[in-house]
Structure 1
Amino acid sequence: MQTSLKYILGIATVVLVSCTSIPKKEKKVKVYKPTFESLKQHGAAPEWFADAKLGMYFHWGPYSVPAFGSAWYPHNMYKDTNGIRKHHEKTYGSIFEFGYEDFIPMFKASHFDPDNWAELFKQTGAKFAGPVAQHHDGFAMWDSEVNPWNAADMGPKRDILGEIFKSLKKKGLKTIATFHHARNGQRNANKPENWKTAYDSHYVYHPDLPTATTDPKLRKLFGNFEKIEEFNQYWLDQVNEVVDKYSPDILWYDSWLNLIPEEKRNEMAAHHFNNGMKHHKEVMLAHKQQDLPLAYSVLDYEQGGRKDSWPTPWMTDMTLGKNRWMYVEGHPYKTADLVLRNMIDIWSKNGVVLLNVSPTADGVINQEQRDVLKEIGDWMKVHGEAVYGTRPHNIFGFGNAATGEGHNAGQSSSVEYTADDVRFTVAKNKKALYVFFLGQPEQGKRIQMRAIGGYHRNIPPSPIKKVTLLGSNTSVEWEVTSDSFYLTIPEVEMNKLATVFKFELK
């Protein structure tokens, strides 16, 4: 080791962003009530979630059958000036003769293998997983007594959520159920000005469309209740049914949760938290908009994230598809390097990733997606200690790639990172700092890293025992001067996805 000092400035006992999860404290709550004052006592992100870093889920349902357009196929097929409508009529016939409900018998899931999927998720490195329990389309993926349009009674005639939860638990993974059905409620029947836009409702409404049905059963698929208050209760009853029957660790909500009245959201949260206490486990809520208080929920950014580290855990959901969430015939997938490097950026800023895969209608996660997941999983097996259970450094990193802030802000979808982009994480016990190069740094190159040494003179020094290339026994030369820190890249092969160096601290 070449060094003029024994200490590196900037790697210190003060290496973490303040408090990354709700501190543990004795809960005096016996029963959570549906009020903010009661619910806030629960806290937001349990320690296991801050440690987990990666979860997986899948968009899968009757909308997978046409394998065309997007998961919004059932929305678009009822719009009169839409390419999806034209495709539907050409392929299946008139919407009056072949409605969305006619896809359900075609959704057979004949190759669905929950044990295989659970093993795939585990091998990828996920610590929690689960299905889209119900998308905007009104079809439930569990054995429901509340919703007659469910996978156990029609289509696959299997309890998809129940089966995958059982397999995940056998593999030691925690469970997540995602709900998107707040938008399912029909809110435009008495608003002719919204009939063409379907504003705040998934299905387009017009008195002459099939979505305006008054059939007692079919109207539940389209969310077409006589009063929106009836739908709001229907929304809640379905979530509570999943909680009661399957006890998910995470309830996650897509956009438009704000359409559900606050009192119903509070009832949902209290029921979930009370069920968690009943089963002696720490459960949590996640959501996308400003529709649940952050005192007891985690905010999710769709295909986006934060520009900088955040003091409490946050989340992003991203998809393997180039820009689609369900299986679409011929749609390309992101490469493993793009996905992993974006995930590292998220982890370095105190984020947790929810990664989406897209099965075919018959229940196949195709080889293209499996190949990407295997690359990620192989990398995680070698470098997992730099990910799981870590916390952000007081500086997330440095480099040339620009990320945005918020939903669809670039992270996990389009940011192209290189070896010039560097990210940090810190072991929870503060015994190691991990330095990620988001690419393959040049062998033999001496790299200046002022972000972790030199100019943070106000931070107490912390001694380094050694620096190694993670996944090998290769020792790495380093030097600290009065104004900077230098790392010499060893003459060995660098990982093509992301290279990680471990700084062992005394």
Structure 2
Amino acid sequence: MININQINEVIGKGPFQDNWESLSRYSVPSWYKKAKFGIFIHWGVYSVPAYGNEWYPREMYLKDSARRDRQDVSMFDYHIQTYGPQHEFGYKDFIPMFKAEKFDPVAWASLFSRAGARYVMPVAEHHDGFQMYDSQLSPWNAAKMGPQRDIIGALKEAVQEKGMKFALSSHRAENWWFYDGGMTFHSDVQDDSFRGLYGPAQPRDPEWTIHGEGPDEAFLTDWLLRTCELVDLYQPSIVWFDWWIMNVRFKPYLKKFAAYYYNRAAERGTEVAINYKLDAYMHGTAVFDIERGQLNGIRPELWQTDTSVARNSWSHSVNNQYKEPADIICDLIDIVSKNGCLLLNVGPKADGTIPQEDESILLAIGNWLAVNGEGIYDTTHWKIYGEGPTQSGEEMHTEGKRGAYTDEDIRFTFKEGTLYAFVMKLPPSGTVMIRSLSTSSRHFRSVITSVNTLDGSLPLDWTVSDEGLRIDVSSLALTPYPTGFKIGME
């Protein structure tokens, strides 16, 4: 079982020390810069009630909660109506119902590969405190309860067999306060027998991040041990953290974890990354991530958006509000044009099957990437990300505020002397005008030698003037999906 002395020993012997100066020597993996598209998976005990979202274990204890998430009945009331009073049926009682009897990691990996993903990231532990792996630090895990199977280990093997990178997320930090609404239920959350699942259940105070109040040393040490255990058990290529590690008390432990993780990777000769939100990690020491949001411009350093196929939930829910695959593809293009990656989440059912809606979206994305992936994978950003009226939000949870992409929205990527231009929506006029490539453009001074669709199926007529690059697309069928053009230059 891992301990603090072992962690300190690895840090002491490795190239990275637990301070920002040393960690600033970190370099983003080359494979990550090329990958562009990954799959996130929210699956756990919360998938059993499948109501509202993955915050069900918290909301089921909050009588006055305002979170309804497109449901007619609050999660608190729904729980009573469906399972009985919380003091008689607590969240722990869902665990025996979480059997994962149809979980097929090989089928999952095959689907993700067909979707065009280059990396796969299941949730190792969510806020609820239930680990999806065979941990030596807590019995509240999928190998010892519920499925009685090392879910993470089985999925890792299948994912790597398909040639994709394997990553993990930890949401453990939020367990400090996640069940605070259940502190009035003495036979459940307050029972010390279940403390290993429910955690400290301390009051949630949004000011903790600013004033430094929050987790005690015991909780923070346990957090560090759990994350380092994940590194040693599964050697993930990415470790993703949710937002609450922003709490200032985590800072020494964040540095210690990064040094340990990066040193372990150096021992194996592998390239790894940490995903963080807000300013949890110092600039240049890890990879910045925006939840359900994008950027308005190019970021010189690699970044990532994490979002879900459903608007209202990360986990499977009976009333999930699904996005259109064409919209997700547009977001993928926009993110890549700004030097980012898209981490797209799906939510399997409790039995281990992936809902048909999730699967259909993934396959639609995969079909599009099979034709257009040349302009996505292994590319870099160009001088500008694109043109057109549609702007993205710059903060978390702003994706719903962005308007629909138009036929004037065009995004660029670049690779090996070739410019790729993606028209988010073909215009009904039959003519695409790319104004950034005009003879009078301040961005472009090259000579265009060829213009083709990425599938290369039809010859295109095109001209360049001081107005822009005009492409005759009247021979192309109108489609809800973006259309990619390959532009040769001298």
Alignment TM-score > 0.5, same fold = yes
Partner Cα separation in structure 2 for residue 400 and residue 353 of structure 1: 22
Instruction: Quote how far apart the aligned CAs of 1:162 are.
Output: 0.7
Q: Quick one: which amino acid aligns to residue 237 of structure 1? A: L
Partner Cα separation in structure 1 for residue 349 and residue 306 of structure 2: 20
Deviates more, 1:241-250 or 1:306-315: 306-315
2:419 alignment partner, one of 433, 450, 461: 433
Q: Quick one: which amino acid aligns to residue 471 of structure 1? A: D
Q: Quick one: which amino acid aligns to residue 400 of structure 1? A: P
Q: Quick one: which amino acid aligns to residue 196 of structure 2? A: K
Partner Cα separation in structure 2 for residue 90 and residue 207 of structure 1: 19
Q: Quick one: which amino acid aligns to residue 426 of structure 1? A: F
Structure 2 gaps, min length 5: 1-12, 66-73, 203-214
Q: Does 1:396 align with 2:385?
A: yes
Instruction: Quote how far apart the aligned CAs of 1:75 are.
Output: 0.7
Quote the residue 2:438 is aligned against: 453
SS in 2 for 1:361: coil
1:268 alignment partner, one of 245, 249, 257: 257
- 1:80-114 CA-to-partner distances (Å, cap 9, x unmatched) read 32421111111111111111110011000011100
- 1:48-81 CA-to-partner distances (Å, cap 9, x unmatched) read 1111000001111111110111111111111132
Partner Cα separation in structure 2 for residue 340 and residue 47 of structure 1: 23
Instruction: Quote how far apart the aligned CAs of 1:294 are.
Output: 2.0
Quote the residue 2:181 is aligned against: 204
Q: Does 1:387 align with 2:387?
A: no
1:487 alignment partner, one of 468, 471, 474: 471
Instruction: Quote how far apart the aligned CAs of 1:356 are.
Output: 0.2
Q: Does 1:94 align with 2:70?
A: no
Q: Does 1:242 align with 2:227?
A: no
Quote the residue 2:96 is aligned against: 105
Q: Give me the identity figure in percent.
A: 36
2:33 alignment partner, one of 14, 35, 50: 50
Q: Does 1:35 align with 2:19?
A: yes
Q: Does 1:464 align with 2:448?
A: yes
Instruction: Quote how far apart the aligned CAs of 1:488 are.
Output: 2.1
Partner Cα separation in structure 2 for residue 453 and residue 286 of structure 1: 39
Instruction: Quote how far apart the aligned CAs of 1:339 are.
Output: 1.1
More helix as a share of residues:
2
| Contact residue 407 and residue 425 of structure 2 kept, 8 A | yes
2:297 alignment partner, one of 277, 299, 308: 308
Partner Cα separation in structure 2 for residue 315 and residue 211 of structure 1: 38
| Contact residue 51 and residue 319 of structure 2 kept, 8 A | no
| Contact residue 176 and residue 248 of structure 1 kept, 8 A | yes
Alignment of 1:166-185 (within 5 A): 166-185=157-176
Instruction: Quote how far apart the aligned CAs of 1:419 are.
Output: 2.5
2:458 alignment partner, one of 463, 470, 474: 474
Partner Cα separation in structure 2 for residue 67 and residue 283 of structure 1: 33
Partner Cα separation in structure 1 for residue 457 and residue 189 of structure 2: 67
Q: Structure 1 residues 115, 415: closer, same or farther in 2, change over 3 A?
A: farther
Partner Cα separation in structure 2 for residue 368 and residue 208 of structure 1: 37
Instruction: Quote how far apart the aligned CAs of 1:210 are.
Output: 4.9
Q: Quick one: which amino acid aligns to residue 84 of structure 2? A: G
Instruction: Quote how far apart the aligned CAs of 1:453 are.
Output: 2.2
Partner Cα separation in structure 1 for residue 464 and residue 201 of structure 2: 69
TM-score w.r.t. length of structure 1: 0.86
| Contact residue 175 and residue 201 of structure 2 kept, 8 A | no
Partner Cα separation in structure 1 for residue 277 and residue 227 of structure 2: 17
Partner Cα separation in structure 2 for residue 494 and residue 47 of structure 1: 36
Q: Quick one: which amino acid aligns to residue 146 of structure 1? A: L
Alignment of 1:57-72 (within 5 A): 57-72=40-55
Instruction: Quote how far apart the aligned CAs of 1:317 are.
Output: 0.5
Structure with the bigger RCO (C-alpha within 8 Å, sep 6+) is 1
| Contact residue 133 and residue 179 of structure 1 kept, 8 A | yes
Q: Does 1:218 align with 2:202?
A: no
- 1:316-345 CA-to-partner distances (Å, cap 9, x unmatched) read 001001321111113231111111111111
Quote the residue 2:210 is aligned against: none
Partner Cα separation in structure 1 for residue 47 and residue 468 of structure 2: 54
| Contact residue 119 and residue 164 of structure 2 kept, 8 A | yes
Partner Cα separation in structure 2 for residue 495 and residue 47 of structure 1: 34
SS in 1 for 2:280: coil
Quote the residue 1:230 is aligned against: 218
Alignment of 1:310-325 (within 5 A): 310-325=299-314
Partner Cα separation in structure 2 for residue 92 and residue 484 of structure 1: 63
Q: Structure 1 residues 79, 496: closer, same or farther in 2, change over 3 A?
A: closer
Aligned length: 457
Alignment of 1:340-419 (within 5 A): 340-410=329-399, 415-419=403-407
SS in 2 for 1:271: helix
